[in-house]
Structures are given as structure tokens and as C-alpha cells.
Amino acid sequence: MNLCPRFRFPLCPTYRPSLVAIFLVASRSYNKNIAAPQSATTPTLSLSYRGFLMALSASQIEQQRKEAEELLFSGPQKLGFAKGLFLGLFNAPLLFPYPRLKPEEVATTQAALEQVRQFCETSIDAAGIDRDARIPDSVIQGLGRLGVLGMTAPTEFGGRNFSQLAYTKVMEIIGGHCASTAVFVNAHHSIGIRALLLFGTKEQQAKWLPPLVDGSKLAAFALTEEQAGSDAGNVQTTATPTEDGKGFLLNGSKRWITNGGIADVLTVMARTPGLAGGANKKKEITAFLVTPDMPGFKVVNARMPKNSIRGTATGQLAFENMFVPKENVLWQVGKGLRIALTVLDFGRTTFGASCTGVAKACVAAASKHVKQRVQFEQPLAEFELVKQKIAWMAAHTFAMEATTAQCASFIDRGFEDFMLETAMLKVWSTDALWRIVNDTMQLLGGKSFFLDQPYERWMRDARLNLVGEGANDVLRAFIAMYGIKPVADQLLKVYNAAFNPLKEFGTLLNFGGSQIAARLRVPDVPVRSNRLRPMARELATRVRDFSLAVQAQVIKHKEGILFRQYVQERIADAACELYAASCTLSRLDSLLSGTANGNAAEIERDAQIGLYFLKLANRRVKQCLVALQDNDDADTTQTADAVLSRY
């Protein structure tokens, strides 16, 4: 098994090398020859389904399947919480009890939070940063002095050795104050120096980490190119070994790199064809530590103008015969994509924290406004449609914080499989925040559109979240198909056993028994609070219903599910709701069972908010499952095709 060299857990890529590849690996249970050419004269795959696969040759599809299998499914697969949902399991010990700071870190964390809060209020002018499209050096230096730029790094490198959970609380404050500053910090810390922390040699760490941790040098992570965005494996930048064996010559370009034009150390992804002997030699990718003083390094555009997170320095870079010594290879040749895909899990966790900070700011601003604003002789807060928006915003903010905390806890506890959970957090939280910001602007009316207010900036910044760190629609397909894989594997065993019933009678008997049991009982969702038991029972029922629905869709569509993105979307959305509801239930159980500090009135308010979310999520899951059978999918496709034929 390939393990992270520092923390010794299996690598967890959450971007996809190719949607096609993941689909094929996940569904090969039903047709192992799906990607094989039928004859020497059959160059393309012949299937009766419409979609982008039709343009690929059978050999391309098979190659992508092998690539995905090597990246995503090498070694024994651990059953994380989210994967268990697809099988009808509720792995309570992974979420209960609700994660909280360790006693020994509470005081230090609280002091740091207060320092960061004061620094944001006195030294970070979010409107000015957006207006000037630049984060001042004084802000960067101040964040360095506070230890924010190396907060989770070990103390041996000058870091503060904060847990991921504590760090998310810091990022929540920064994100709620200035999205540009939060993205800058995330790019530097969560994905920039994170690669060094996880994969660097002792020599590399000793050389690079101290100045990066104290903020005297800045980091960037250079993956995205013109042809490599969501398709992370399609990097075109090349790294050719020099004849003397001392290093590599890099040629290519990168774009949309946060901190790219101002960074002192960049982790650059480049192709090293055939050097590692992987399944796809043409797509072997290696990570290199690069500095801008290397001959051939060019900053084409240090600050690409944009309408969102305007303060960040989003750069465009070029490399022309840039020599990089072999000592600057990060981890191993050919393992760059694993590095890239692994660090995104960490980045998405702090991404969720930043979204939570903005959501809290929205709830506070909207609530104050509707209580003060009088129309038709009464405060806006008295109108039901206003109450509806406030309740929805608060409920999803509560759940967002809970879901972020659980993902951070997975990292702190060294869990081996949390790739689905971080993908779900990213999709669910950014979708929820977009509606929260939209509803905030609706409640504030015309006031929200003027530049002397922060709301239109919040809207612009929030919209990018649905695309950055993995486009949400791409991640929905990933969530559905990766979650389906253990279901497909289980059905494959039964399928094979059916051809040898005498020898595999036990397998068939167990499957039959499990099917009957699944319809007669629900998984155990243990809660300590009596008040929560009805909601726990509802959640358990939805988990059972979800797993049976997933199984039915896999059996119904077989390999055709590769193309059924309408189905994938409903499965992914239901899974995200179940995960968010599970995290929220854990938080509520902690509140109501007496393990959380706080006054009774405040706890009761939070309980009402959380319980309301559980009811909303429960209804949405049921709607997603009903829509698997009752929908207008055929009309949707026909209408879209009619429109597209005009252009």
C-alpha cells in the first residue's frame, strides 16, 4: 500500500484523474469487458447511451480505468463513514462523541482566536483589499507574527502545532472577515506547505519549512493549466531528465495559481513520461520544489484581474528549459498526482471553515437588519417569508460548522479514509453558502447592492467557491460513483456466486438474509439524549432507504449508470444530506447530553436550530430518492438537445 511518508495513512485523492476512469472502475463489476475492443476493426466503444464517452476509443477508456484504479483503489480499501452510508451502515464511533478541542489546547486556542479576531478587526481592511486587488504586506507580516501561516506545522520548524480542528476555528474567523485573506492563507498553508509537511524529506523540510512557517517566504501550489483543471491528470508541463542525471528541465505553463506570482517556493506538477513505470507512462506526474530565481522561471502575469477574491495574487507562470535539481523532487518520481490530490483534502476542510465564517456573518447581518427595518408598520422580522429565510440560513450554518469539525477530526485522529467526507463538505457547504448569501441580499434589498456595504463582495466571493478546489458538479459525480463502488463490489460477489451455487451457497444465503434484514430493520444510530431519539430513528430510516435505492439503481442501470448523471446527482445530494445530518445529530447530542458548556438558553436556541436542520435534510433525502423514479429526465435531455442544435 502507498502510504503518506509522514503520517503513515493511505493517500486519499479527492480530485478525479478522469470521470470516465472512476466510472469504469466503480462499475466494472457488471461487465469486465466493457472497455475491451470487440475486434481489431472496432476502434471505439459501442454503447446505446448518450454522453461524452462516445468520443473515446476503447483503448483510451481502458487506459483511464487502469489509471483510476492505480490512483484511487490501490491497496485495501477502508470503509469510512460516508462509504458506509451507501451500504446502509451508520458507523457511529467515527462521529460520536462530537469532536472538541483537547483540554490542553483550549486555552492556547482561545487566546489565538482572540488575537486573530482583533487583528482582523484592526488590521485587515476587507473592502480595501477588494478595491485595491491586493493584500498589503503589513497583513501578511502580521499573520506571520501571529503564527497563522504555519499554525499546524510542528514546533521544530517554528510552527504552533495546532490541531486541524483548532486551525479550522482560526480560518472561520478569517474567512468571515475577508475571503481574499482566507484564500491566501489556505493556498499558502493548507495546500502550499502541506505538501512539504506530508511528503518532504528531512533535508527538504529543514531547508524550506522554517521561512515558510514564519511567513518570511510564501508558498504556492502550481497544478492548474489550460488543459488541467478538474481533470488534474491532464497536466501538459513536462520535466525531462538532463543527460548528466543531475536534474530535470521543465517546460510548460501554469495559470490561475494563487500566490503564484509572489511565492518564494512553489510545488509544481509536471509530466515525467515513463520514468516511474506506472500504468499510464504518458501521464506520470512528478512534484517539484521550484523557486522563482531558477533560470527559465517566468511570471507572465502576477495578478490576473478577476471579480472574486480580488485581493489574492492569482498568477500565470511559464517555464522555459528551467533546470530543477533532482534533490527538489518531492517524495518520488511519478507520485506527483497523488501528492496533489491528497493535499486537497486538507484544503477542503479549511475551505468549509471559511464558508462557515461567512455564513455566520450573513446570519448576524440579516437578523439585525430585519429586526430594525420597518415596512408596512411592522419589522421585517415579523413576516413569515423573512422568518423562513432566517431559519434556513441559521440551520445550515449550524450544520456547516458541525460537518467541518468532523472532517477536521478525521485528520486529527489519523483516519485512513475521509476522501468522500471532504468532497461532500466542499459541495454541500459551498452550495449552502451561495443560497445563504443570496437570501441575505434579498433580505437587505437595495442596500446590499451598494459598494459601501460588504454584501455584494460576499456574493462575488461566494460564487467562486462552487468552482474552486473541484467544480461541484464534477465532485457530485465523484461522490456518487466512488460511493457506489463498495455496493458494486458486494453485488459482484453475489453475481459470481450465482454461477457456482453449490460452492458459494453461503454467499448467496448471506446476501438473501441481508436483503430481508435490510427491509425489516434500520441501522442503530445511538444518541444519549431522549429528545433526539425520534430524529435518530428518522435518520436511520433514511440511511436504510438510501442504501436500498443505490443498490436498486446499480442493478437497474448496470454499466449504464456511467452515463446517468441525473441519477448520480440525486445519489450524491442524498449522500451529502445524510452526512451533514449525521454530523449535526452528533453535535446536538453533545449539546443536549450535558457535555457542552454554555448557558441553558443558548443551548436551547442551538438545539432548535439543529433540529430544524435535521427535518429539512430528512425531507430533502426523501425527495432525492423519490426523484430517482419520478422525474422528467428524458424531457430534460430532449429540451437541452433542442436548444443546443440551434448553435
pLDDT (0 to 100) of residue 491? 82
pLDDT (0 to 100) of residue 497? 73
Cα separations in angstroms, 105 against 99, 102, 163, 194: 13, 5, 9, 21
Strand 285-290 to 247-258 pairing: unpaired
Where is 557: in which H helix or E strand?
helix 533-557
Residue 170 has pLDDT above 90, yes or no: yes
What grid cell was written down for 205?
523540510
What grid cell was written down for 557?
442501470
Residue 469 has pLDDT above 70, yes or no: yes
Residue 38 has pLDDT above 50, yes or no: no
Per-residue pLDDT, averaged over 18-38, amounts to: 38
Per-residue pLDDT, averaged over 283-308, amounts to: 94
Domains of the chain: 19-86 (no CATH), 103-190 (1.10.540.10), 220-334 (2.40.110.10), 343-473 (1.20.140.10), 477-640 (1.20.140.10)
β strands within 517-595, DSSP E: none
Residue 531 has pLDDT above 80, yes or no: yes
Q: pTM value?
A: 0.88
Dist CA 548 CA 540 (whole Å): 13
Residues in the chain, overall count? 647
Residue 28 has pLDDT above 50, yes or no: no
Q: Residue 333: CB partners within 8 Å, gap ≥ 6?
A: 272, 275, 276, 284, 286
Among candidate residues 469, 538, 559, 577, the one labeled active-site is 469
Dist CA 128 CA 485 (whole Å): 48
Q: Which of 434, 447, 429, 307 is nearest to 362 (CA)?
A: 434
Secondary structure percentages of the chain, helix, strand, coil, to 5? 60, 10, 30
What grid cell was written down for 298?
517566468
Among 199-213, 459-473, 586-600, the minimum mean pLDDT is found in: 586-600
Residue 440 has pLDDT above 90, yes or no: yes
Among 58-62, 207-211, 579-583, the minimum mean pLDDT is found in: 58-62
pLDDT (0 to 100) of residue 39? 36
363 compared with 338, residue with greater pLDDT: 363
Dist CA 608 CA 603 (whole Å): 9
pLDDT (0 to 100) of residue 27? 39
Per-residue pLDDT, averaged over 363-391, amounts to: 97
* pLDDT tens-digit map of 91-106: 999 999 999 999 999 9
Q: How confident is the model at residue 250 (pLDDT cuts 50, 70, 90)?
A: very high
Q: How confident is the model at residue 276 (pLDDT cuts 50, 70, 90)?
A: low
Among 317-331, 402-416, 517-531, the minimum mean pLDDT is found in: 517-531
Residue 50 has pLDDT above 50, yes or no: no
378 compared with 419, residue with greater pLDDT: 378
**What's the whole-number average pLDDT of the chain?**
87
For residue 469, indicate whether it is catalytic: yes
* pLDDT tens-digit map of 612-638: 999 999 999 999 999 999 999 999 999
DSSP state of 147: T
- Vertex 105 angle, CA 104 and 111, to 5°: 125
331 Ramachandran zone, left/alpha/beta (phi>0; psi -120 to 50) = left
Q: Is the peptide bond before 97 cis (omega within 30 degrees of 0)?
A: yes
Hey, what amino acid is at 610?
G
